[in-house]
Structures are given as C-alpha cells and as structure tokens.
C-alpha cells in the first residue's frame, strides 16, 4: 500500500508523470504479490494440517475415553446422542477451527503489519484508527454471548435428531410391523421444526454481527478520511500518503470484519466443542487397582457375600444377596421379569460394581482382579445377539483371533450351526451385514453359541441362550451345552424352566431376594413360588 502511495506522488500534474520510478514500483509490487500469494497458500496448508490433526487426535481421545466409560453412562444416554458428539459435533468443531485459524493468523499479521506502516506515515491518524476500531469487537462480543446459548440448543437438538434416526432405522421392521410410519414422521417433523426454529434464530442474531462491525469500521474510515484531508490541506501529509493511509485503514479493519463474518461458524463450533468436552469430562470407570492380580488358574468357585446393588439409589433392587458356588456347579436363576437375574450377571462380569458386600472369584475379591482377566474367565451367550459386519468365520472367532479354520468349523458343528452355514453360497466366508440383517435371529444366536464353544472359558453365563431357536435344535444344543458345562461353573438364566431341570442348584428370585433354592425336584415338592412358575408353564 505504501508503494501505491509513492506511485501516486510520482503523478505530479497533468502531462507530468515520472514513469521511471513508477515502473520500478510496479515491479516491486508484482514481486510482493507473488510472495503474498505463496505465503497465503502455505498458511492455508499449515492451518488445514494443524486443524485436521487436532480433530483426528480429539476424535481418537473421545473414542478411547468412551471405551473407558462405565456402562452406566452408555445405558443412561441415547446411542444417537453419543454418535452425534463423536461425529457431527467434532466435524462442526473442525470447520470452526479451520476458519478460526485462517482468520486468526492472517488477521494478526494484517493488523500488526498495517499498524506499523500507519505509524511510520502519521502517528496522530493512526491513534484515531486504533481508538475507534476496538468498538467493533465489543459489538461482536455483545452479540456472540447472546447467540452461544442458541447454538448450544441447536447442537443438542441435532443430537436428538440423530438419536431418533438411529432408533428408527435400526428398528425399521418394528416400525413397519406396527404401522408406526405416521407417528415416526410426526416425531421427526417435530424435532426438525425445533431444529429449524433454533437454527434460524441463532443465524438471525449472529448475522447482526457483521453489519454492526462494518458500520463501526465505516466510521473509522470516515474519520481517517476527514482527519487526513484536513492534514493534507495544511501540508502535513501528501495526497499519496493520504490515499495510502485510507487503504491501510481499510486493510486494518478488514480482519475485524472477517472475524465477525464467521462468528456464526465459530459460535456453532464452540457449542459443539462444549458437548464434546462434556463427554471427555465424564468420569471414567474405576480403574483396576494398582496391585490388581491377573486371574490365571481359575477353578470356577464363586462366592457372593452380602451384596447390595441398585441402578437408582431411590429404588432398591438387590439387598444382602449371598451365594456360594462350588467349582463345576450349574446354577440356574429364575424369577419374574425385573427381579434382578440379569443384574447378577452384570455384577459377576463387573459391568457394574457392587455397592456393598463383595464377589470372590477363585479365592480373589473381584475388585482386586483386572477386568480383562475376570471377563476373560467367562463365556457369555445372551438373549440379545450381537454380530459385527464381517464374515461368519470372523464373527465366530471374535473372542479367539488366532483360531484356525478347523477350530471354527468344529465349534460351529458343536453349536449345530455348520448345516446352515454350509448351505450359504460362500459358506464361512459369507459376509454378514450390519446387525446380521441377512440371516435369521435363530441363526445369529447359533453363531453366538459357536463363538463361546470356540473359546471354551472356565466359566459360562447363559442368559436365555436358546430363546430364538426352534425346539428341535434347542434339544440338540442343550445336549451340546451339557457336554460343554461338564467341569465348568455355569450360570443359567432362563424363563423356560424345562431347560434347567438338570441344574445342580436353582435360585428362585423375586424383588432382588432369593425366595427358594434347591434342585428341581426339591423345589417342586415344596409347592412354593417355583412350583407355581413351573405349573403355570406345564399345567394341562
């Protein structure tokens, strides 16, 4: 800009122009323009790399933190909201960082550079510029504080929408089976309308920032023009210097306008960042004790001593629960829905920690044992099946990565899954879609059973393991289970009481307490709650 002012000063009067110096100035301007262009390209490249590396590290940290959060947090928050924080909110933060870094670095360089050049030309006019310009920052800050809450609501509503879409897409069969399409659309439209209203409102108020700051900066430009013109009239400054100063003043205020112009993106990014850091600030599960031991020689003995636990402190569930399981015993747990059967499984696996009492596994307090070794001592087959996108062989070998193809096939045969797998076009290399949508529910449960039969841990947990399997196949699998359970401590949760007749010990639970316990014949002879449950299923 200073070169431009010098060039103007070489235009003396009409017909009297000093072209020699002007050509030199033009050459210097061309060199500066090229250097500036290369510098801006390098700056944008550096900004992009820094931003994407920061976001990559942030997303890795969030996911790693999520893996260490207790199941209480996962159970207490919708999956869609958590997914939205990891993906959408981090992306929004990335966009804000990218724009913020670019505007920040270029803005600082521009402000400092132009300020120095203006001081070298005229100190008084520079003071006028510096005094008036910060007013635009106060205007931008005033508006930004009031739009932050709106953008936070927008971000939370966006997470709510993600949660709804994840819920409806994942359960589309249920939606269609119960003709819920109209209600689903109404729920979606209601959330979408709220998202639209808060988004428009946030954008409207944030859009006021740019014109307000431009108005203040326009006053700066006018003040420089008036003060400079008066100075030029009295010979304190040349016309070229005035022209140069006006350009510098405009250049000086430009970063403030640009920053206020992206305040919408920045506010949205800050609101998204708050949600991401709220997740990062969630307390992790209690880490393994420093002196925690690794279970190795597991004999299968489990002792539960006066254990109390509840998900909600206001709603008691399990109180003073005790149980002594000898190695190799088969323990069946029965009772009405909500009595605490699955909760006991959660406590055995340390998905949740006991609130009172203790659980002793193979002579060691479970709280003093590493979670990995404790959970590795159990094999679980749940009523809710889970398969990952991949081949059938990969799903069976999920808990034993080094399993050979022969071992996988033997486990599938033991689970009576080899037959249907062989009939598939690609056999064990058949790719299962997300959530196993291209095979039946019963077939998915057979694969989960094969997964446990491959790893053969010292202890077993079977929670309604055959609930989705036909009666004929169930009889075969029960025989395979009987063989697999020999010498292994087993906990069997069942509603179909016909599957637990051979259990060594049956616990009859109600409201978190053991009402009755004993073998099948003994409990029937007592004529109590178990007999009532059994007769309700098999009464003629």
Q: Where do we find the tokens 């203040």?
A: 216
Parallel, antiparallel, or unpaired for β 431-432 and 390-391? antiparallel
Cβ pair 157, 191 in contact under 8 A:
yes
**What stretch of H or E contains 29?**
helix 19-68
Q: Which of 510, 504, 502 is nearest to 530 (CA)?
A: 510
- 170/481 Cα distance (integer angstroms): 32
pLDDT score recorded for residue 126: 77
What's the count of helices (H) and strands (E) in the chain, helices before strands? 21, 14
- 277/292 Cα distance (integer angstroms): 30
CATH classification of 302-538, choosing from 3.40.50.300, 3.40.50.740, 3.40.50.880, 1.20.1050.10? Answer: 3.40.50.300
- 442/469 Cα distance (integer angstroms): 5
pLDDT score recorded for residue 12: 54
pLDDT score recorded for residue 437: 64
Low pLDDT (below 50) residues in the chain: 540
Fold of 2-280: ABC transporter transmembrane region fold (1.20.1560)
Per the DSSP assignment, residues forming a β-bridge with 431 are 391
Whether this model's pTM surpasses 0.75: no
- 236/329 Cα distance (integer angstroms): 102
- 38/32 Cα distance (integer angstroms): 10
Rg (CA), the chain: 36
Cβ neighbours of 402 (radius 10 Å): 6
- 516/296 Cα distance (integer angstroms): 34
pLDDT score recorded for residue 510: 79
3-state helix, strand and coil shares in percent for the chain, rounded to the nearest 5 = 65, 15, 20
Tokens of 250: 């405009």
Backbone φ, ψ for residue 63 (5° rounding):
-65, -40
- 449/421 Cα distance (integer angstroms): 14
Q: Which residues contact 211 (CB under 8 A, 6 or more apart)?
A: none
Backbone φ, ψ for residue 282 (5° rounding):
-60, 130
**Is the CA virtual torsion 395, 401, 404, 406 positive or negative?**
negative
b/e per residue 60-88 (b: at least 16 CB within 10 A): eebeeebeebbeeeeeebbebbbbbbbeb
- 393/403 Cα distance (integer angstroms): 10
User: Helix axis angle, 209-233 relative to 134-170, nearest 10°?
Assistant: 160
Q: What residue ranges of the chain are covered by domains with CATH 1.20.1560.10?
A: 2-280
Start-to-end CA span in the chain (Å): 100
3-class DSSP state for residue 206? helix
pLDDT in tens, 67-103: 888 888 888 777 777 888 888 788 878 777 777 666 7
Cβ neighbours of 40 (radius 10 Å): 12
- 519/329 Cα distance (integer angstroms): 12
Q: Which of 184, 183, 157 is nearest to 170 (CA)?
A: 184
pLDDT in tens, 356-400: 889 999 888 888 888 888 888 888 887 777 788 888 898 888 878
Tokens of 203: 């954008």
Cβ pair 369, 293 in contact under 8 A:
yes
Tokens of 169: 């897409």
- 114/124 Cα distance (integer angstroms): 15
pLDDT score recorded for residue 142: 73
* 454-to-50, 242, 385, 397, 424 alpha-carbon distances in Å: 46, 85, 17, 7, 21
Parallel, antiparallel, or unpaired for β 330-334 and 16-17? unpaired
b/e per residue 153-192 (b: at least 16 CB within 10 A): bbbbbbbbbbbbbbebeeeeeebeeeeeeeebeeeeeebe
């Amino acid at each position: 800009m200073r070169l431009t002012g010098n060039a103007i000063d070489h235009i003396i009067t009409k017909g009297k122009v000093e072209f020699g110096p002007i050509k030199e100035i033009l050459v210097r301007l061309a060199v500066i323009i090229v250097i500036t262009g290369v510098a801006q390209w390098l700056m944008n490249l550096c900004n992009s790399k820094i931003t994407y590396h920061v976001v990559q590290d942030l997303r890795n940290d969030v996911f790693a933190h999520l893996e260490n959060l207790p199941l209480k947090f996962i159970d207490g928050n919708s999956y869609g909201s958590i997914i939205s924080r990891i993906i959408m909110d981090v992306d929004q933060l990335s966009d804000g960082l990218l724009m913020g870094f670019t505007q920040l670095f270029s803005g600082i360089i521009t402000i400092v550079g132009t300020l120095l050049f203006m001081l070298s030309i005229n100190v008084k006019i520079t003071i006028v510029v510096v005094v008036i310009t910060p007013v635009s920052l106060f205007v931008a800050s005033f508006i930004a504080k009031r739009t932050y809450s709106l953008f936070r609501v927008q971000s939370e509503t966006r997470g709510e929408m993600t949660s709804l879409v994840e819920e409806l897409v994942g359960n589309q069969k249920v939606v269609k089976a119960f003709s819920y399409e109209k209600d689903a659309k109404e729920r979606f439209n209601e959330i979408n309308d709220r998202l639209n209203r808060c988004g428009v409102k946030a954008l409207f108020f944030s859009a006021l920032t740019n014109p307000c700051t431009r108005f203040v900066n326009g006053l700066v430009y006018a003040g420089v023009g008036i003060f400079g013109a008066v100075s030029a009239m009295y010979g304190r400054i040349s016309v070229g210097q005035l022209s140069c100063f006006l350009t510098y003043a405009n250049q000086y205020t430009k970063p403030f306008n640009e920053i206020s112009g992206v305040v919408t993106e920045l506010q949205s990014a800050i609101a998204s960042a708050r949600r991401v850091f709220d997740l990062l600030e969630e307390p992790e599960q209690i880490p393994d004790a420093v002196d925690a031991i690794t279970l190795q020689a597991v004999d299968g003995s489990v002792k539960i001593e006066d254990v109390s636990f509840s998900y909600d402190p206001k709603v008691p569930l399990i109180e003073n629960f005790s149980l002594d399981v000898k190695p190799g015993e088969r323990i069946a747990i029965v009772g009405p829905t909500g009595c605490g059967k699955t909760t006991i499984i959660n406590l055995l696996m340390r998905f949740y920690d006991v609130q009172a009492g203790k659980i002793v596994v193979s002579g060691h307090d479970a709280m003093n044992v590493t979670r990995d070794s404790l959970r590795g001592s159990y094999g679980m087959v749940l009523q809710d099946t889970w398969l990952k996108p991949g081949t059938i062989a990969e799903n069976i070998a999920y808990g034993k990565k080094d399993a050979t193809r022969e071992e996988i096939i033997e486990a599938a045969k033991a689970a009576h899954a080899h037959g249907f797998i062989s009939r598939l076009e690609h056999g064990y290399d058949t790719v299962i879609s997300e959530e196993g949508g291209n095979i039946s529910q019963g077939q998915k449960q057979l694969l989960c059973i094969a997964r446990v039969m491959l790893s053969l841990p010292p202890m077993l947990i079977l929670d309604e393991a055959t609930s989705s399997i036909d009666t004929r196949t169930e009889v075969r699998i029960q025989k395979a289970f009987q063989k697999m359970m020999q010498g292994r401590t087993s906990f069997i949760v069942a509603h179909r009481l016909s599957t637990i007749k051979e259990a060594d010990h049956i616990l009859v639970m109600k409201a978190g307490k053991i009402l009755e316990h004993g073998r099948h014949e003994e409990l029937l002879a007592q004529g109590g709650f178990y007999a009532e449950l059994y007769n309700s299923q098999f009464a003629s």
